[in-house]
Amino acid sequence: MTLRTYVISRILLTIPMIFILFTMVFLVIRVLPGDPVLLHFEKQENPAAMERMRHRLGLDKPLWIQYLDYVAGIFRGDLGESMVDYSPVAQQIISAFPATLELAIFSMVIAVSIGIFFGVEASKGYGKTRDNVIRVFGIVTYAIPVFFLGMVLQMVFGLGLHWFPVESRFPHGVDLPSGLAVGGVHFSTGLYTIDSLLEGNVYKFVVTLRGLALPSLTLGLVLSGVFIRLTRSNMFETLQLDYVTAARARGLSETSVTYGYALRNAFLPVLTMMGLQFATLLGGAILTETTFSWFGLGRYIVDRISSRDYTAIQGAVVFFGIFVSFVSLVVDLLYAYLDPRIRL
Amino acid sequence: MLTLIRGSGCEVVEVDKSKVRKGMLSSLIPGLSSLSQRGLAGWLVVLGFIMVTSIVVVTAISPWVVPYNPSQINVGRPLLSPNSQFLFGTNNMGQDVFSRVLSGGGIMLEVSILSVMICLLIGVPIGLLSSYVGGIFDRFLCLIMDSIYAFPGLVLAIAIAAMLGRGVTNMAISIAVVYVPSYFRVIRSQVLSIKEMPYVEAAKAAGAKGRTVLSRYIFPNVVPSIVVVATVNFADAILTAAGLTFIGLGVPVDIPDWGWDLTNGSRLLSSGAWWVIAYPGLMIILLALGFTLMGEGLSEMANPRLRE
């Protein structure tokens, strides 16, 4: 199989999965509860208003037409209207998403860095105390509720030591990073780290990083266990291969043997795992965002749950699903590009 | 290493003779002795089992041992730090944190047990059937299960819980939906390899019906893997239940619950009342850790090749 046919078949495989996902979300939000409008109006004291909402949101049509409208809407980038104020859900999601993406990227970087570093250390001292301590650390990370860890870090490094801000992505009273403005053209990503760099404002960049520190450390630590385990076992095997011994025999330093030679081979599974863990990461982001009052997509969902805005929840869940499928597609393609065996 | 293959041909039991010794603990509880013969993995299981059992026992006997009624407000002044009268301090409503910690495991245990039961009831039969029948039926189920599996679990659980409303059963259902694919995948891959084994062929050749082959010859060999998935499922169910409670989808009753205590305590952080969240948080960690250790040990035993 050439790389091209692999890419095409991988993309084709994604399509049925996305459709199942759309259907699943539709079943959960529209069919399972019977009538989301009934749920929205808890007291059900105003039948006329309920009828108006049903009509406005198209929920009075037969289910199969609702389904077709819904799927067609997704392809137009239309995720429906909010039950609270009838504003387009897609727009709200797009404006909340960069906060989540920035948190997710930094958390992933932290998780993988911790995972690789400790994984390599553990594999070098395989079976010794160092290895066992790292293994225990890895196991414990599986058992910590992410929001509890967030609160502990807030208390220690925020309220106690005052090293980092406790709640808020960006301090009040400072203008948000504006991004790049050349002539009349304005470009910004919504990722504050990138926007502040585009603006050329180092102060805002540092402030953004400080705000990111605790939430991304929280999420990164919880995810790091998986990467520690994976790196540890892969590195242990790789370090015993002939080419590593050969590199050592040539007198290369231990650091360059482990990180320059062995890690290169042990990294591919880590890459796959990054794709798989991205879904877990987004789930964790919902709880982390709630802990740190981080106004991203996770916080958006939680807010909408409390205001019983089921169309908004549906839109956000669909968006999460599409995004995760996209990430796993990209990771698989990257893997195929890096590991020629997959194309054979 | 001595490898015994029992008469039925189903089980392969490995006994490392050098490690056969009976500790005090293992002589007290039958069954533990065979676990402790399995080295580190066995001890992980024993340790995890002890942690989980202690928490279950404490939760069960808590009504008779708590120093104060855990639900009663103003048994002391609000937000007292830990002292001799209130071992773990009091929360913002003047409830005794120690009593709430002792009795707060009930909801989490109920939710996790119920969700594992639902998973077993749904995931195991369809996993067995799908892989045994094969064909389009199998392909179709695989596609659905893979789609659920790839989806962010917590997001899906939150969506389902939000639609079903609050309550122990609803929480358990929303967690179970997320974990059924894990059972399905593990069972399916196991059955696919077991199906090809000579003894299954022999059973078929001897005229055994499909149902008999599946239940008497294949199923027993899948059980170890199911147990491993179930322990991991337990740990995750506890953490997910805590997470659902944290975002306001918990159980709205006046029963002490660690998840609720954590949520309540999160609003009190700025007052410096660390004790309100620290103890219930540690209990959740201990319970989840107990299951994780059991899962870790059991999976090492189920797949001896992974053993280091």
Query: What confidence tier does B84 reach under pLDDT thresholds 50, 70, 90?
Result: confident
pLDDT per residue as tens digits for the range A67-103: 998 999 999 988 888 988 889 999 999 999 999 999 9
**Domain contains B148:** yes
> Which DSSP state fits A261?
I
Examine the pLDDT at A104 and tell me if it is beyond 90: yes
Question: Does the model's ipTM exceed the 0.95 cut?
Answer: no
For residue B99, give both structure tokens: 């009593």
pLDDT value, residue B10: 37
Say if B165 falls within a structural domain. Answer: yes
CB A163 within 8 A of CB A305: no
Determine the pLDDT at residue B31. Answer: 58
Q: Which helix or strand (DSSP H or E) is residue B23 part of?
A: none
pLDDT digits (tens, 9 = 90+) for A218-247: 999 999 999 999 999 888 888 888 988 888
Give residue B27's pLDDT band: very low, low, confident or very high (50, 70, 90): very low
Judging contacts by C-beta atoms under 8 Å, the chain B residues touching residue A151 are: 262, 265-266, 269, 277, 281
B97 is a domain residue: no
CA distance B18 to chain A (A): 19
Number of domains in chain B: 1
The shortest C-alpha distance from A198 to chain B (Å) reads 32
Contact B158 A301 (CB under 8 A): yes
Phi-psi region of B134 (alpha: psi -120 to 50; beta: other; left: phi over 0): left
pLDDT digits over B225-262, tens only? 899 999 999 999 999 999 999 998 888 767 889 999 99
Closest Cα of chain B to A40: distance in Å? Answer: 10
B contacts of A147 (beta carbons < 8 Å): 242-243, 246, 262, 266
The answer to whether residue B272 scores a pLDDT higher than 70 is yes
pLDDT at A125: 83
Q: What is the rounded CA–CA span in Å between residue A294 and residue B294? A: 35
* Alpha carbon separation from B47 to A20, A67, A195, B58 (Å, rounded): 41, 51, 50, 17
d(CA A324, CA A275): 8
Say whether B69 sits in a helix, a strand or coil.
coil
* 3 state DSSP class of B15: strand
- Give A147-204 pLDDT, tens digit per residue: 999 999 999 998 888 888 877 777 777 777 877 777 777 788 888 888 888 888 888 8
Query: Residue B285 is part of which domain span?
Result: 102-306
Rounded to the nearest 10°, the torsion over CA B209, B118, A316, A224 is -100
How confident is the model at residue B307, as a pLDDT? Answer: 40
Q: Please list, in sequence order, all residues whose beta carbon lies within 8 angstroms of the beta carbon of residue B202, skipping any fewer than 6 positions away.
A: none
Q: Tokens 């939710």 belong to which residue?
A: B111
pLDDT of residue B64: 92
Where do runs of H (alpha helix) occur along B79-207? 97-103, 106-133, 135-150, 153-164, 168-194, 198-205
> What would the pLDDT profile of A11-50 be if each residue is shown by its tens digit?
888 888 888 889 989 988 888 776 788 788 877 777 888 8
For B167, counting Cβ atoms within 10 Å of its Cβ (0-12 exposed, 13-18 middle, 19+ buried), the class is middle
Q: How many CA atoms lie within 13 A of A14 on its CB side?
A: 19
Residue ranges of B 236-255 with Cβ closer than 8 A to chain A: 239, 242-243, 246-249
- Residue A158 CA, chain-centre distance (Å), reads 24
Of the candidates A244, A218, A275, the one whose C-alpha atom is nearest the C-alpha of residue A123 is A244
Determine whether the interchain pair B262/A147 forms a contact, defined as Cβ–Cβ distance below 8 Å. Answer: yes
From B151, B159, B266, residue closest to A291, measured CB to CB: B266
Is it the case that residue B22 has pLDDT exceeding 50? no
**Residue B176 confidence (pLDDT) above 90:** yes
Res A333 pLDDT > 90: no
Chain A window 136-155: which residues touch B at a Cβ cutoff of 8 Å? 139-140, 142-148, 151-152, 154-155
A161 DSSP assignment:
T
User: Cβ distance B131 to B192 under 8 Å?
Assistant: yes
The answer to whether B281 contacts A17, with C-beta atoms less than 8 Å apart, is: no
CB contact under 8 A, B281 and A325: no
State whether residue A305 sits within 8 Å of chain B by CB: yes
Q: How many residues does chain A have?
A: 344
Q: Note whether A143 contacts B289, CB cutoff 8 Å.
A: yes
Q: Examine the pLDDT at A122 and tell me if it is beyond 60.
A: yes
**Which amino acid appears at position B6 of this protein?**
R
CATH of the domain at B258: 1.10.3720.10
The CA-based dihedral angle spanning residues B106, B112, B114, B119, taken in that order and rounded to the nearest 10 degrees: 180
Distance CA B269, CA B277 (A): 9
Quick check: B142 and A12 in contact, CB under 8 A? no
The CA distance from A98 to A279, in Å, is: 16
**CB proximity list for A133: less than 8 A, separation 6 or greater:** none
Facing residue for B155 by CB, picked from A152, A283, A325: A283
Question: What is the model's pLDDT at position A252?
Answer: 87
Note whether residue B87 is domain-resident.
no
Does A217 score more than 80 pLDDT? Answer: yes
- Inspect the interface and report whether the beta carbons of B247 and A159 lie closer than 8 Å: no
The pLDDT of residue A200 is: 82
Answer yes or no: is B300 within a domain. Answer: yes
Q: Tokens in use for A282? A: 């987004």
Judge whether residue A341 has pLDDT over 80. Answer: no
In a domain, B141, yes or no: yes
